[in-house]
């Protein structure tokens, strides 16, 4: 197993930002508050986008937080080394990011009234995005050939484990009051509707003007220009954005430019097998 990862119960976590200690803190010690809002995603499913939108909902469209605070500080990751320092004394409501599966939330979560916004993305597009990310991030192992990466993804031998297991851990709580399920695809297709839904879920009355501001600021091309969100401040020996950017394409269906017909059919058959009985209506092809 690559020395770039902390391996915990079979899960790979990038050592660059995560340690046994930070995992222990997140699971055992982190005190969830009723007003906390968790943004939960499988990697490469629109996390950064949500880290832009949710703070803008809480600031009523005031751009200051997204133009002055880097996203990892604005909506810190629960599992990262700097979680404690950034979140322990932060006033509520705290906005928190995690790629964890449902059972990995802090012990104190179940006793709280904290909310979870989950964003899913077509696994073929998340895979493609991850493939390119592995090739620009020095803290991840090299993606190798696309077919090799495809196998690793389907077997869940990638950071944070299997896409299927992630969805399977969260989908069953979709009707719970604390939970909102969104997809990357609906967000891209109808941002206004999704932002409105988010505002209602988070108890925020948003005027039409505020929603317009949020939509404009969080458009892919605007976020790509925002140094607080595009990771341009990360040195190139850690994240080399010379040939491919962190905010790479921001589209639905880029997998069609990467998968062969045979790979797509194979993926679909694994998908059908792994999602059997889940009643999950998305991403069947």
1-12 burial code (b ≥16 CB/10 A, e <16): eeebbbeeeebb
Please work out the total of residues on this chain that contact ligand PPS, with binding judged by CB under 6 A: 20
Torsional class of 9: left (φ above 0), alpha (ψ -120 to 50), beta (otherwise): left
Whose structure tokens read 């484990």? 161
Does 206 bind ligand PPS (CB under 6 A)? Our answer is no
User: Strands, DSSP E only, in the chain?
Assistant: 5-8, 11-14, 37-41, 95-98, 115-120, 179-183
Q: Does 129 bind ligand PPS (CB under 6 A)?
A: yes
Q: Least CB distance from residue 56 to ligand PPS, whole Å? A: 12
Shortest gap between Cβ of 208 and ligand PPS (angstroms)?
20
Residue bearing tokens 């979709």: 174
**Shortest distance in whole angstroms from residue 73 CB to ligand PPS:** 14
The residue among 22 and 47 lying less far from ligand PPS, judged by its C-beta, is 47
8 catalytic residue (yes or no): no
Q: Does 254 bind ligand PPS (CB under 6 A)?
A: yes
Residue with smaller CB distance to ligand PPS, 33 or 248: 248
Is 258 a binding residue for ligand PPS by CB under 6 A? The answer is: no
Site for ligand PPS in 143-202 (CB under 6 A): 188
Q: Is the dihedral of CA 128, 129, 133, 134 positive or negative?
A: negative
Closest residue by Cα to residue 162 from 42, 267, 282: 42
Residue 190: count other Cβ atoms within 10 Å of its Cβ.
12
Q: Does 117 bind ligand PPS (CB under 6 A)?
A: no
Active-site position among 8, 16, 99, 122 = 99
Task: Return the bridge partners of 12, or none.
Answer: 7, 159
- Please, what is the minimum distance in Å from the beta carbon of residue 232 to ligand PPS? 14
Query: Closer to ligand PPS at the Cβ: 206 or 223?
Result: 223
List, in sequence order, every residue forming a beta bridge with 5; answer none if it has no partner. Answer: 14
CA dihedral for 47, 38, 184, 12, sign (positive or negative): positive
Does 248 help bind ligand PPS (rule: CB under 6 A)? yes
Q: What is the CA radius of gyration of the chain?
A: 18
Residues 29-88, interacting with ligand PPS (CB under 6 A): 41, 43-49
The verdict on 223 binding ligand PPS (CB under 6 A) reads yes
Q: In the complex with ligand PPS, which residue's Cβ is closer, 47 or 210? A: 47
Q: Which residues bind ligand PPS (CB under 6 A)?
A: 41, 43-49, 125, 129, 132, 188, 218, 220, 223, 247-250, 254
Query: Which residues are catalytically annotated?
Result: 99
């Amino acid at each position: 197993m690559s020395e770039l990862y902390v391996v915990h119960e079979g899960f790979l976590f990038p050592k660059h930002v995560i340690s046994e200690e930070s995992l222990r803190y997140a699971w055992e010690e982190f005190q969830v508050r009723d007003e906390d809002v968790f943004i939960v995603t499988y990697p490469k499913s629109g996390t950064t986008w949500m880290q832009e939108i949710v703070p803008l909902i809480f600031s009523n469209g005031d751009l200051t937080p997204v133009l002055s605070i880097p996203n990892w500080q604005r909506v810190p990751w629960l599992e990262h080394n700097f979680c404690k320092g950034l979140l322990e004394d932060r006033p509520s409501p705290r906005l928190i990011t995690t790629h964890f599966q449902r059972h990995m939330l802090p012990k104190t979560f179940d006793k709280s009234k904290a909310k979870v916004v989950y964003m899913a993305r077509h696994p073929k597009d998340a895979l493609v995005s991850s493939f390119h990310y592995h090739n620009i991030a020095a803290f991840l192992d090299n993606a190798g050939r696309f077919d090799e990466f495809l196998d690793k993804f389907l077997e869940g031998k990638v950071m944070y484990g299997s896409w299927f297991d992630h969805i399977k851990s969260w989908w069953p709580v979709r009707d719970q009051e604390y939970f909102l399920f969104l997809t990357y695809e609906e967000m891209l297709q109808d941002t206004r509707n999704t932002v409105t839904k988010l505002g209602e879920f988070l108890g925020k009355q948003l005027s039409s003007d505020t929603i317009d501001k949020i939509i404009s600021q969080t458009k892919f091309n605007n976020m790509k220009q925002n140094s607080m969100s595009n990771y341009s401040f990360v040195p190139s020996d850690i994240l080399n954005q010379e040939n491919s950017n962190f905010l790479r394409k921001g589209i639905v269906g880029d997998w069609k430019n990467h998968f062969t017909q045979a790979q797509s059919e194979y993926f679909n058959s694994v998908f059908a097998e792994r999602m059997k009985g889940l009643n999950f209506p998305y991403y069947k092809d």
